[in-house]
Structure formats: C-alpha cells, structure tokens
C-alpha cells in the first residue's frame, strides 16, 4: 500500500539534495500520505522552453504532460519522462526520478486491476497558480 511517512520524506529529501543542480529552487511535499511531490519553481535553465521545443504541442498531452506550452507549468509523466526529455536534461531528470523513487517498489498487476506500490511520484515544473521562473530572464529584467 502506498505510504510516505515523514521519515521516508526526509530520506528522499537528503537524496534529492545530492542530485539537484545548483541554482534550482524546489520544494518537496507529501500528498495524501501516498505521493511524494517535487515542485521545481525556478532554475537557470528554461526547462519548459527546452521541453516544449523538444516535443511539439500536438504530442505534448500524448507525452503525459498535464499542461503544455505557454501555461507556465508542466507535469511530466514519471513513467515516460525519458522518451520526452531533451538529451541535455535526461541525466538530470533520471537522477531526480531515481532519488524520488528511493525505497519504492512496484508489485502491481494491471491485468487483474491490482496496484501495489511503495509510493507514487509526482514532478511539477511550476504550479498552475505560480508559473515556473527562468532565472536568466529575471537577471535580464533587473
């Protein structure tokens, strides 16, 4: 049964601290005691711009992104991120998802409608009410 305790969150936070690039602003939270959610709020790289340039708008929803294009936020599908992530970002995202899946397991059987995971993983780039900030844009504006 999916469950994230505060102790497990602390261990995941420590693993994330080792792999998150310098200058990236992020927060880590637990949703409904079952999902670990990482929200990247700002970075020196334009993550949304690079991902949007890699996949066209037509394929964006097919790729598993809950929001696409100019909305200011994206939520990559944690199971398919490697197919829709630009080559320069793939090592970073792989390390991030590996850290988020620390102590996780998946004994699910979708044919019998049985789902058993250690916890669910969610990654947000920006939020629906607070868009992602490209830090280089802020330096130019200042």
User: How does DSSP assign 10-37, residue by residue?
Assistant: HHHHHHHHHHSPTT-EEEEEEETTTEEE
Q: Which two tokens stand for residue 142?
A: 């200042």
Conformational region of residue 33, where left means phi above 0, alpha means psi within -120 to 50, and beta covers everything else: left
pTM score of the predicted model: 0.85
Is pLDDT of 87 > 80? yes
Residue 137 lies in a domain: yes
Say if 40 falls within a structural domain.
yes
10-31 residue pLDDT tens: 999 999 999 999 999 999 999 9
In a domain, 81, yes or no: yes
Tabulate helix, strand, coil % of the chain (nearest 5).
35, 20, 40
Q: Is residue 88 part of a domain?
A: yes
Number of domains in the chain: 1
In this structure, is residue 1 part of a structural domain? no
> Mean pLDDT across the stretch 125-131?
90
More confident residue, 136 or 6: 6
Quick: pLDDT tens for 23-60. Answer: 999 999 999 999 999 999 999 998 888 887 787 655 66
Q: Within a domain: residue 136?
A: yes
Domain of 75, in residue numbers: 6-141
Q: Work out the average pLDDT over 115-122.
A: 93
């Amino acid at each position: 049964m999916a469950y994230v305790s505060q102790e497990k969150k602390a261990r995941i936070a420590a693993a994330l601290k080792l792999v998150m690039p310098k200058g990236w602003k992020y927060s880590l939270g637990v949703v409904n005691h079952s999902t670990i959610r990482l929200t990247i709020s700002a970075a020196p790289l334009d993550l949304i711009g690079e991902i949007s340039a890699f996949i066209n708008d037509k394929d964006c929803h097919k790729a598993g992104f809950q929001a696409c294009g100019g909305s200011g936020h994206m939520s990559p599908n944690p199971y398919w991120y490697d197919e829709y992530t630009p080559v320069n970002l793939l090592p970073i995202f792989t390390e991030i998802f590996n850290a988020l899946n620390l102590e996780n397991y998946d004994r699910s059987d979708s044919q019998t409608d049985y789902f058993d995971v250690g916890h669910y993983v969610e990654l947000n780039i920006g939020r629906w009410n607070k868009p992602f900030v490209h830090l280089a844009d802020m330096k130019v504006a200042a």
